[in-house]
């Protein structure tokens, strides 16, 4: 079920309940995940967004952070499989960076409607979707519940959305 996108002063989010069965996301004890697709070393798009997500995460109380995590999924399939995790940990040691091989990356980008391609101007960079996804796990199912598709993020609204999902 997709609910219309909400727009308020430069902020938009889409509310939906889309179940998916991919293995990597929510494969730990966290009930709620923030999910971001980007690439390690992305300075213009990923770095400011990851800093803001870290600010949000630090504002959550300790009980909430036990149930909420962040996964950064690297679209670049780097040669060094540890690079995504090191990139995510730079922003917060609790964040997870996940390496995806090309086939798994294709599956994830299809489910999450993520666009990416090598930049025409600089082949070491990527043009990509910069959405933030809020995922909920319940009763052995995983659902995309919100997509935040504009920047800067409304951190207050995301925090309210997390609290709402934790109390469902």
Annotation: binding site for Cu cation? 42, 46, 128
Nearest to 100 by CA among 47, 33, 23, 20: 23
Tokens of 114: 């993520």
Q: How far apart are the C-alpha atoms of 105 and 37, rounded to whole Å? A: 10
Cβ contacts of 12 within 8 Å, gap of 6 or more: 5, 6, 148, 149, 150
Q: How far apart are the C-alpha atoms of 154 and 148, rounded to whole Å? A: 9
Q: Which residues share a beta bridge with 74? A: 38, 99
DSSP element (H, E) containing 72: strand 68-74
Q: Residues annotated as binding site?
A: 42, 46, 128
Residue 26 and residue 164 in contact, taking contact as beta carbons nearer than 8 Å: no
Map residue 116 onto helix, strand or coil: strand
Q: Which residues share a beta bridge with 142? A: 20, 137
């Amino acid at each position: 079920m997709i609910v219309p996108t909400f727009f308020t002063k430069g902020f938009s989010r889409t509310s939906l309940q889309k179940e998916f069965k991919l293995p990597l996301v929510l494969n730990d004890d966290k009930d709620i995940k923030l999910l971001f697709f980007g690439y390690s070393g992305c300075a213009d798009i990923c770095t400011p967004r990851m800093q803001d997500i870290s600010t949000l995460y630090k504002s959550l109380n300790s009980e909430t952070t036990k149930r909420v995590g962040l996964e950064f999924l690297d679209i670049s399939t780097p040669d060094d499989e540890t690079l995504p995790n090191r990139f995510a940990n730079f922003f917060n040691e609790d964040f997870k960076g996940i390496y995806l091989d090309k086939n798994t990356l294709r599956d994830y980008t299809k489910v999450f409607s993520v666009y990416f391609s090598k930049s025409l101007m600089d082949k070491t960079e990527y043009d990509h979707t910069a959405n933030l996804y809020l995922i909920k796990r319940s009763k052995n199912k995983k659902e995309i519940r919100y997509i935040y598709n504009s920047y800067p993020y409304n951190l207050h609204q995301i925090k309210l959305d997390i609290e709402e999902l934790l109390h469902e």
